[in-house]
């Protein structure tokens, strides 16, 4: 009988002489995406390498090929090929300044969850040229917390609320909640603030348009509205109108890559500071007002903790690098 988390090795006839390992998943680890499980386990291995071995079929689950987003379950046996990890002591060290910043950025904490006000410019994880991200820095700050995992993600240029689970039980609970439609149904409500170009239409309260990823020249990946894309829904409301701009609130009901940015562009009002989907000329004029990045901020999260019927709401104030340029805009008199 195979015991939970039993590991054994099979020697390969390769130059490295390293071994394939087999890991049996227990109930405490179940519910994670395969890619996240491997990223946490294979510390020091670039994310691109991990995705490559999954796609090539070198990683197998129960002897079969799977996709990176496969959710592992108790009893699964994962085959992990020989992959050279970082030598002990060679992992990049987080700076004291970054650890202090993240410590000051904690908005909420209990026995199983951290909610961080993520600083802009900080990737949520290492890889693709980024040595250390939010999760790696937190693990160095909290070496005693053995199960720190991202519950969801934010783009590097986006600031605001992000959840990090401290326990596997919280991770499973919150990731299941993310699949629900709203906090009122036991799900998680994400609210963002964004500045868009132009006068947002009064009757535009939601965009329901499927999104698909494309690879363009140079290997860059973009997201576009496409009839064969994945169903995507974002709700919008106006917070304040300015001359030439509108401050809006966006609530993504689905969780697609670049969803708010592409849906806003589809409505004819791209986000201020958006170098991928926006207006370069207007973005340049905003730089003169001090806006140096994408104007998108995860302003609040509402969710239920495990075994609780009380809604928890966490808010992150608009950071100075967005609030100060906003104050330089002229309010609309309409």
Out of 26, 28, 35, 155, the active site residue is 155
Which sign, positive or negative, has the C-alpha torsion 193, 195, 196, 200?
A: positive
Distance CA 98, CA 249 (A): 29
Distance CA 215, CA 223 (A): 9
Structure tokens at 54: 């999954």
Q: Count how many Cα atoms sit within 13 Å of the Cα of residue 293 in the half-sphere of its side chain.
A: 17
Q: CA end-to-end span of the chain, whole Å?
A: 73
Site of tokens 């959840």: 163
Length of the chain: 334
DSSP assignment string, 238-296:
EEEEETTEEEEEEEESS--TTHHHHHHHHTT-PBTT-TTTS-HHHHHHHHTTT--S--E
CB–CB of 183/253 below 8 Å?
no
Which sign, positive or negative, has the C-alpha torsion 72, 77, 80, 85?
A: positive
List beta partners, residue 115: 108, 163
List beta partners, residue 222: 214
Q: Phi-psi bin for 239: left (phi > 0), alpha (psi -120 to 50), beta?
A: alpha
Catalytic residue check, 155: yes
Catalytic residue list: 155
């Amino acid at each position: 009988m195979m015991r939970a988390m039993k590991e054994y090795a099979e020697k390969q006839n390769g130059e490295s002489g390293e071994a394939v390992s087999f890991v049996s998943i227990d109930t405490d680890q179940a519910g994670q995406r395969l890619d996240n499980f491997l990223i946490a386990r294979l510390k020091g291995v670039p994310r691109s390498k991990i995705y490559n071995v999954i796609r090539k079929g070198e990683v197998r689950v129960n002897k079969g090929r799977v996709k990176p987003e496969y959710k592992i379950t108790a009893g699964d046996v994962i085959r992990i090929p020989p992959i050279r990890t970082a030598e002990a002591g060679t992992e990049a060290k987080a700076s004291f300044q970054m650890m202090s910043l993240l410590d000051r950025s904690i908005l909420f904490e209990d026995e199983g969850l951290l909610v961080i006000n993520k600083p802009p410019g900080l990737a949520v994880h290492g890889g693709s040229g980024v040595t250390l991200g939010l999760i790696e820095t937190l693990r160095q700050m909290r070496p005693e917390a053995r199960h720190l995992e991202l519950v969801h993600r934010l783009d590097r240029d986006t600031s605001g609320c992000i959840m990090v689970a401290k326990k596997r039980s919280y991770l499973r609970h919150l990731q299941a909640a993310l699949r629900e439609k709203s906090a009122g149904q036991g799900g998680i409500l994400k609210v963002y603030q964004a500045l868009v170009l132009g006068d947002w239409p009064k009757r535009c309260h939601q965009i329901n348009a499927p999104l698909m990823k494309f690879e363009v020249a140079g290997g860059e990946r973009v997201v576009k509205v496409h009839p064969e894309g994945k169903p995507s829904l974002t709700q919008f409301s106006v917070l304040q109108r300015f001359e030439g701009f509108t401050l809006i609130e966006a609530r993504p009901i689905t969780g697609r890559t670049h969803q708010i940015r592409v849906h806003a562009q589809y409505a004819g009002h791209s986000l201020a500071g958006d170098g991928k989907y926006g207006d370069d000329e207007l973005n340049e004029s905003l730089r003169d007002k001090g806006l140096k990045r994408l104007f998108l901020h995860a302003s609040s999260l509402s969710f239920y903790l495990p075994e609780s019927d009380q809604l928890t709401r966490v808010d992150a104030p608009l950071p100075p690098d967005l609030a100060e340029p906003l104050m330089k805009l002229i309010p609309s008199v309409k």
